[in-house]
Structure 1
Amino acid sequence: MRETPRTSRRSVLKGIGTAALGALGFGSAGSSPAEAAGEPIMMQYFHEPWSTVESDIPTIADIGYDAIWIQQPAEAILTWDDQDGRNDPPLGYQPVDLRNFNSEFGTESELQSLIDTAHSHGVEVYLDTVLNHMAAASYDTFPQFEYEHFHHDVGAIDDWSDPHQVKHGEFLGLKDLGQLSHTDGDPAYVRQQLKNYMDKMAEFGADGHRFDAAKHMYTDFFSDYANQWADDNGMFKVGEVYDGNVDYVQNYADTGMNVFDYPLFFTMHDAFEYGDMSALEGAGITGQDPWHSVPFADNHDEDGPSQYELAFAYASTIEGYPVHYNLYPSWLLDNDNINNMVWVKKNLAGGETYYRHSGNDLLVYERYNNLLVGLNNNTSSWRDEWVYTSWRDETLNDYSGNASDVTVNNDGWVKISVPPEGWVFYAPY
């Protein structure tokens, strides 16, 4: 099995050195496994104006979220009136002018107030950062770009297996910027505008970037430019590489960014549609590179599976820096089960993952010497199983409140019971 340093994943992702970890309360590389318990978790807060997001910051902080990810702060072509529902079409992804942060979500001053309030409550703010494209509009719509600054050799993408089309095509009709020398225009000018855009986010005090549509840009652009711009400003960075192939997504992680674990999500979606949960063992980027993985159970592009909260229980307790999302943010903030999962992640999760039982309807894994998780997707029956653990002669409490205490024997074995379509979170008192 992997051996992972006993440090905060968030600290590593943001480049904070081991010496600073003690002050942050996350232990150090020399800590014992139990001392290393406690990992960060973020919330995706979409579909509301900045003022509403700001009003919920105290609650977000009290629940324990370390960061929020919000939509792109730039002038865009779509308005609230263009929507037929909360996310149809999503706002913020058809930018017009990357220099103007007055948007449908609020003014620049309201964005600044949101960020300042978040920081006053110890919550970081990650901004959606759209570097791939501008709006689906005529070229004279964009005051900072000319016709020559866009790709014109593909048009609409009709072959998703063709890497050239994916990188040069107009995804959903969005005008595709030429960031590298793969265009006849002036990529250096395009890059300067994109750098200025990212720098302005940093000037507002934002803490990180979520790179939208990263799959549609070359890995070289991130390794040679965008990642460095973020690093120079001390910004967290995570890319949306919307693909189920682990190796493909890993290529972007290898540029130095973190990635949303879409390969894991698609496996989770099948497992938590009353499927085979054994497929989750070792799946996704999380299974091979958890230090760059952002697991999730739902987002604004992909609906979560039917066994929704069960999927959240998994995403919240495995390795990685998970993100919580619901179409209605209040659903997350008011949900006792979800709030408990945040608490468990922040207080009990840590250490390497050992799968103790991988069955069709029962999955049991241990975050070594910190947390024992049981998930049951059987719709009608409790599932009992004897599993091996790292503990000896230890009483474990179920911090989910779904089951009774259990005692590990002197050989390290314990019998746990997991309710139908439910979960247990066992750890010492």
Structure 2
Amino acid sequence: MKKPIFKLLALTTALMAMYSCSNDDSANTLETAKEFKTINVTTHDGRPFDTGKKTNLSNGRYVANPGGGVMMQAFYWDVPAGGTWWNVVNSKITAWSNAGIGSIWLPPVSKAQNGPFSMGYDPTDYFDFGNFNQNGTVETRFGSKTELESLITKVHGENMQVYADIVLNHNSGGQLESNPFTGTQTYTNFTGVASGKFKRTSADFHKNALRNNDEGIFGGFPDLAHVAPNVQDWLWKRSDGVGKFYKNTMKFDGWRFDYVKGFGAWVVKDWNANVGGFSVGELWDANVNLLNDWANNANSSVFDFACYYKMNDAFDGNNLNVLNDDMMWKRNPYKAVTFVANHDTDEIWKKELAYAYILTHEGYPTIFYRDYEEWLNKTKMNNLIWIHNNKATGNTSILYTDTDEYIARRNGYNGNPGLVVYINNSNTWQERWIQTNWTNAQIKDFTGNSGWYPTTQADKWVKIQCPPNGYSIWSINM
């Protein structure tokens, strides 16, 4: 859901400067998708996924799973209107796959109240994908149903997954009706939706005969009552309902649930039990206890807002010690989806350091479209994706922190040696002796930021270095 975020012009200027200053990578020998080797896909803690087949990373394609790949948020707020966005994303799928991205997250795909101008978070008709003349348009802001289907087919053809953004808390665009539960006129009559599916009346919204309210209402929109049998049937129980139609007919592989603070975790749990597929909830809160409790109660992944705010404090607040604090990926890595920015919030300035962090640590990392396609150095981003997919295995040990430096070790798994990541938030080169898991082994920085090729000692200790305001990522030279 979109929240009002006020950005400084200086942020854009700084990002543009970062991009222009970092474009010259001719001196660096980065590991990229072109150098992929054939390995088994692993989870974020290094254990292999049971995918039923071997996966060849030589062409950058692999099966996406929580923690086993990288997700792309394939939109930003106010993407160009005019029905072109599905085609724009379609044109990028092969390149994203070649880079090692395993899944994409799309904005809400159904017709919403603001028609051709809506980002989809004010849903009217869950079954209008740009194929009905409704709310002033046939196509959605993003395109037609045919173009959406073509995009999904392209994603699957590249052995990737596609996740739908699902707004279950509220609806918009209904007609006025006399509401017996409020004694007023309310915009809760959705019996005239063009698809003719999931017709709703005031009985399906709060308050109603069943209850007055649930956990939260958003923006004054009619608040769906998930306890209502009609709502449950059409959202996740019916074979032709929203969830199963999206999964079985439209071929979505998973779900990003919007504003889950607005309804009970049992809703997502029931959806997952009846529909299946990957799921992640937007529970906008830095409290890791709340995130973990919701994820367990919903049987779902959750965006790691605790990690997001700690990274902001660490990299922009100049105190890398806070990376010792609790985060969702530390508490429950299988259910943590990490991110640096999204369509709602974009507060971290030192994004390259933040991406180096989430793409070397446990969790399911998400890349924001504009960071990848517009604002940051794509070669460096592809290098980090390669490192994530090929080296970031095993659990995590934090080796050293101070206000400016952070060093952590991924301990490897099943023959994969893991890595050591060194992040430096100071203005000068730094060096540290650290203990690895490797005996008498030559290592190198797979980012190309350091030209050192040190050999670990018999006791596994070695000296590594890191550039100013940058990062280095070390593993066995093989």
Q: Give CA deviations for 1:52-84 in whole Å, capped at 9, x if unaligned.
A: 1111111111111000101111111124547xx
Residue type matched to 2:253 in 1? D
Following TM superposition, by how much is the alpha carbon of 1:288 offset from its aligned partner in structure 2, in angstroms? 1.4
Residues 330, 7 of structure 1: alpha-carbon distance in 2 compared, 3 angstrom cutoff:
closer
Following TM superposition, by how much is the alpha carbon of 1:332 offset from its aligned partner in structure 2, in angstroms? 6.8
Match among 346, 357, 380 for residue 303 of structure 1: 346
| Alignment RMSD (CA, Å) | 2.6
- Tell me the equivalent position of 1:87: none
**Is residue 54 of structure 2 the alignment partner of residue 23 of structure 1?**
yes
**Is residue 294 of structure 2 the alignment partner of residue 252 of structure 1?**
yes
- Distance, in Å, in 2 between the alignment partners of 1:119 and 1:283 is 36
**Is residue 243 of structure 2 the alignment partner of residue 198 of structure 1?**
yes
- Tell me the equivalent position of 1:330: 373
Residue type matched to 2:43 in 1? R
Residue type matched to 2:275 in 1? A
- Tell me the equivalent position of 1:281: 324
Q: Give CA deviations for 1:246-298 in whole Å, capped at 9, x if unaligned.
A: 11111121131111101111111111104211211253110111011111111
Contact 1:274 1:377 in 2 (8 A): no
- Tell me the equivalent position of 2:136: none
Following TM superposition, by how much is the alpha carbon of 1:343 offset from its aligned partner in structure 2, in angstroms? 0.8
- Distance, in Å, in 2 between the alignment partners of 1:7 and 1:123 is 13
- Tell me the equivalent position of 1:321: 364
Contact 1:151 1:176 in 2 (8 A): yes
Q: Give CA deviations for 1:82-126 in whole Å, capped at 9, x if unaligned.
A: 7xxxxxxxx110101112122221221111100101111112111
Could you say what secondary structure the match of 1:118 adopts? helix
Report which of the two has the higher share of helix.
Answer: 1
Following TM superposition, by how much is the alpha carbon of 1:318 offset from its aligned partner in structure 2, in angstroms? 0.4
Contact 1:382 1:418 in 2 (8 A): yes
- Tell me the equivalent position of 2:388: 345
Unaligned runs of 5+ in 2: 1-39, 58-66, 131-139, 175-186, 194-198, 412-416
Contact 1:332 1:339 in 2 (8 A): no
Match among 89, 96, 99 for residue 127 of structure 2: 99
- Distance, in Å, in 2 between the alignment partners of 1:335 and 1:246 is 31
Residue type matched to 2:264 in 1? Y
Determine what percentage of the aligned residue pairs are the same residue: 29
- Tell me the equivalent position of 1:147: 202
- Tell me the equivalent position of 2:43: 9
Match among 190, 213, 221 for residue 174 of structure 1: 221
Q: Give CA deviations for 1:308-349 in whole Å, capped at 9, x if unaligned.
A: 111111011100111000446522796111111111111111
Residues 329, 395 of structure 1: alpha-carbon distance in 2 compared, 3 angstrom cutoff:
closer
**Is residue 437 of structure 2 the alignment partner of residue 395 of structure 1?**
no
- Distance, in Å, in 1 between the alignment partners of 2:371 and 2:458 is 47
Any residues of structure 2 matched to 1:13-412 within 5 Å, and which? 18=50, 20=51, 23-24=54-55, 39-46=68-75, 47=79, 49-79=85-115, 81=117, 91-102=119-130, 103-135=140-172, 138-140=187-189, 143=193, 144-152=199-207, 167-180=214-227, 187-195=228-236, 196-202=241-247, 203-223=249-269, 225-231=270-276, 235-254=277-296, 255-281=298-324, 283-327=326-370, 330-331=373-374, 335-368=378-411, 369-378=417-426, 380-404=427-451, 405-412=453-460
Contact 1:249 1:259 in 2 (8 A): yes
Following TM superposition, by how much is the alpha carbon of 1:51 offset from its aligned partner in structure 2, in angstroms? 0.9
- Distance, in Å, in 2 between the alignment partners of 1:250 and 1:414 is 37
- Distance, in Å, in 1 between the alignment partners of 2:397 and 2:361 is 10
Q: Give CA deviations for 1:25-57 in whole Å, capped at 9, x if unaligned.
A: 69xxxxxxxxxxx94111101136111111111
- Distance, in Å, in 2 between the alignment partners of 1:329 and 1:341 is 12
Contact 2:304 2:338 in 1 (8 A): yes
Which of 278-287 and 265-274 deviates more? 278-287
Give the number of aligned pairs.
380
- Tell me the equivalent position of 1:35: none
- Tell me the equivalent position of 1:183: none
Could you say what secondary structure the match of 1:295 adopts? strand
Could you say what secondary structure the match of 1:415 adopts? strand
Residue type matched to 2:318 in 1? G
- Distance, in Å, in 2 between the alignment partners of 1:60 and 1:330 is 10
- Distance, in Å, in 2 between the alignment partners of 1:62 and 1:323 is 16
Could you say what secondary structure the match of 2:169 adopts? coil
- Distance, in Å, in 1 between the alignment partners of 2:443 and 2:325 is 25
- Distance, in Å, in 1 between the alignment partners of 2:263 and 2:331 is 24
Residues 273, 236 of structure 1: alpha-carbon distance in 2 compared, 3 angstrom cutoff:
same
Q: Give CA deviations for 1:114-147 in whole Å, capped at 9, x if unaligned.
A: 0101111112111111111112762235632111
Contact 1:42 1:66 in 2 (8 A): yes
Unaligned runs of 5+ in 1: 1-5, 27-37, 83-90, 154-163, 181-186
